[in-house]
Amino acid sequence: MKLLIFSNFYWPQPGGTQAVVLELARGFSTWHKTRAGDEPIKVTVATQEERTWSEDAAQPFALVRAPSRSRLKQLIREADLVHIAGAALAPLVLCVLHGKKFVVEHHAFHAACPNGQFFYEPAPSLCSGHFMARRYGECLRCNRANMGLKNSAAQIPLSGIRRWLCNRAAVNILPTEWLGTILKLDRMQTIHHGIPAAPRFTQVASGSTTCFGFQGRLVTTKGIRVLLGAVRQLQKENRAFRLKIIGDGPELEKLKASVAQCGAKVEFLGYVPDHRLPEAMADVSAVVMPSLAGEVFGLVAAENMLQGRLVIVSDLGSLKEVVGETGLVFRNGDAADLAARMGEVMDQRPLAASLSANARLRAQQAFDLQIMIEHHINIYRSVLARETAR
């Protein structure tokens, strides 16, 4: 099987899409070595990311960076099947024009939302589905501040085109069932993201003070201001705790200024590479994911669950699906409710320990990397078998 994987985003730029694409490409390339009689899968990854990565040469698959339109067309025509990571217009159009079988794995909301985040900027809050309800004036109102009126208007028909093209895919792959309730596309199948096995973390003793952690890009959709609102609430209650914020982004300086005003024990660590995360997170008892929107899965939640760390999430549908009954959940955007959940962690340590153990077990069972790879391969074979039978 000749498989082309297209992703706009790829390493060295970090991100969830990049992590999943890399694990899939590695897994497909080596799958036949662990399955006697299976045919090899010849994998090529094409990406618009021009920058090279120190690990490029070590990968077991071919990599084409920033292909021209003619080169991309050639790669698509040579492949038996195309896997498009995200609703990227160029490969979608080329696959349909040339009659190539393709699947789309959705890493955002572009097939149902012009800004791809399902986020309503004026509120700010999770969108109620304005594009799908044809309330295009609300889409303009939402996006014009960031995109300008002209670009905001252009994104509305482009979202419609993306949607039409995705409905021509052999399969639309979703990382959560919840995402399907938003996108409402044809031929949807859910495959939870798989993550590499990880050792259980050993917490470094930090006295009686509980340390919370946040990992993510510092943008509005991640809800970091909701977390700082909870911090201020806990300070009013004279609670002793610390918070580590790991990540970078356009909100960084404003957040630092906000923290300086309230005098909370908040440490900004900036971007931390993967190999340094265990050290940075060693004294963190619970990770908080206060996302308002934009999450189709929640890799940070799953990764920390696998390490046996408690996760506190907003009641965003994707995050609730990932943590199941093994995490603490608060009302989306409600800082006081988040503060109450953080207080439970500080007051009920046996409960927190029990949830952490259950979280690790759930992650091992639900987000197994090999199962994710196998489910994708089964979909590919089914698609190609249907094509051969015609």
- Look up tokens 């040579």; give the residue: 78
Contact 108, 296 (CB under 8 A): yes
Report, as an integer, the average pLDDT of 34-40: 76
Kindly state the helix (H) or strand (E) to which residue 5 belongs, with its residue range.
Answer: strand 2-7
Please enumerate in sequence order all residues whose Cβ is within 8 A of that of 137, keeping only pairs 6 or more positions apart, or say none.
none
pLDDT at 314 exceeding the cut of 90: yes
Look at residue 136 in the predicted model and tell me its pLDDT: 97
- Mean pLDDT computed over every residue of the chain: 94
**Percent of the chain at pLDDT exceeding 90:** 88
pLDDT of residue 207 exceeding 80, the answer is no
Q: What pLDDT does residue 329 have?
A: 98
Is 160 in a helix, a strand, or coil?
A: helix
Confidence of residue 37 (pLDDT cuts 50, 70, 90): low
The ranges of the chain annotated as CATH 3.40.50.2000 are 2-194+369-389, 210-366
Region 4-15: what's the mean pLDDT? 96
Q: Does the structure show a pLDDT above 90 at 263?
A: no
Instruction: State the pLDDT at residue 39.
Output: 86
C-alpha dihedral (31, 106, 55, 374), degrees to nearest 10: -10
| Mean pLDDT (whole number) for 104-125 | 96
- Give residue 205's pLDDT: 60
| Assigned fold of 2-194+369-389 | Rossmann fold (3.40.50)
The span from the CA of 273 to the CA of 219, in Å, is: 19
Topology of the domain covering 210-366: Rossmann fold (3.40.50)
The phi and psi torsions of 56 (rounded to 5 degrees) equal -55, -50
Q: Whole-model pTM?
A: 0.94
Token pair recorded at residue 214: 């946040």
- The pLDDT, as a whole number, for residue 342 is 97
Residue 18 has pLDDT above 90, yes or no: yes
Mean pLDDT of 234-249: 94
Terminal Cα-to-Cα distance of the chain (whole angstroms): 18
Instruction: Give the separation between CA 139 and CA 131, rounded to whole angstroms.
Output: 7
Phi, psi at residue 98, to the nearest 5°?
-100, 10
